[in-house]
Amino acid sequence: MTAEPIGFRVGAAMAGVKTGKRERLDVALVVSDRPCTAAGVFTTNQVIAAPCIVTRRHLERGAIRAIAVNSGIANACTGDQGEKDAIAMAEAAAKVVGCSPYEVAIASTGVIGWPLPVDRIAKAFGEIELRENNWNEAARAMMTTDTKPKSIGVTLDLGAGVVRLHGIAKGAGMIHPNMATLLAFVMTDAEIEAADLRRIVAAAADASFNAISVDGDTSTNDTLLLLANGASGVRPRESDLVTFESGVRGLCEMLAGAIVADGEGVTRVFEVKVSGAVSDADARLAARTITTSNLVKTAIHGADPNWGRILAAAGRSGAKVDQSRATVRIADIAVFERGKPRAFDADAVRLVFSQKDVAIGVDLGVGHGHARAWGTDLSEEYVRINAEYTT
């Protein structure tokens, strides 16, 4: 999809961040022609990367003009020098943009523990050609083990006028964030107050990136940023603001879906819909536990109709479950209903598990709470990719 928010330009270049060889796009800039109201959420991992620390500090100061990003090296677990390098990266981007370094958000992704080649990155920043419709190149520059760029734009026709949003994201491994995914940036030309933006980005993360899991690992670098530059002149209020918030959430859900579908070694994506929970929070807990269960993931990969793993995962999640009233469905096949196993066609379940997209429904039998989460199978290819990551 294409939608270019007014007042943003974007571009990418080759810096040879990881190897020193300019073989692929690995640095990018997203630039607004005016200061943006900005909000973000970051990794909850206690081992937090230097770019997250610096960017969080810059957001607390106020407006943001640009996002500077690199792939290949995460600048995580790099000590005091890592923070100095993140600041130097902001300074190099600010020089290109013509703004204060404090107006630059920094994001990095890649190998943990390696020093960041700031000189190569700074040089590449100076070579970037910023254009209004260059989102795909920027998304490609963010990739590590991703097989395709994630770039999606939407247009919202509000009562007060038209606003546009565009999001880019990366992520394929270490996907089990407790706030957002590895890297995701959403830009809009709407005019949004800072307090509303903070609320909107937190809610959008919870409904999208918080609800996906590939491997159960939370990255040191997880960053979701939402920038609003107001260039459209449209300021959503009341019902328009509700529509705008829904648009942001929908865009984030699409980006999250693209990430989980492109997960390392993924051959199947499964959606878990939990209902009958004592609360929505309990439903989310059960759904996310099911999506991260290695036993569920391997059963789906092997097309094994072992539905007991699903119910067992819900039972250990911490959510309240009444097994005498619980129900489990694989697509439209009831395998366990109101506390009793049902006779079912095992080959039909194998066929469902063999599809690219798998639907699982679980009713916990205790209330009206509900939630969704998305997970992936666990394949031999995932093991190969991560066994060879630094080599």
Alpha carbons 335 and 342: distance in angstroms, whole number: 5
| Contact by Cβ (8 Å): 292, 213 | yes
For residue 39, give every residue at least 6 positions away whose Cβ sits within 8 Å of its Cβ, in sequence order, or none: 59, 194, 197, 198, 200, 201, 202, 225, 226
- Catalytic, 145? Answer no
Q: Which residue from 86, 106, 118, 136 is spatially nearest to 17, judged by alpha carbons?
A: 118
Alpha carbons 96 and 65: distance in angstroms, whole number: 12
Alpha carbons 246 and 243: distance in angstroms, whole number: 5
| Contact by Cβ (8 Å): 187, 38 | no
**What is the Cα Rg of the chain in Å?**
22
For residue 76, the tally of other CB atoms under 10 A from its CB is 25
| Contact by Cβ (8 Å): 296, 290 | yes
Catalytic residue among 43, 55, 144, 181: 181
For residue 347, the tally of other CB atoms under 10 A from its CB is 10
Alpha carbons 61 and 24: distance in angstroms, whole number: 34
* C-alpha atoms less than 13 angstroms from C-alpha of 77 in its C-beta half-sphere: 12
- Supply the residues annotated as catalytic: 181
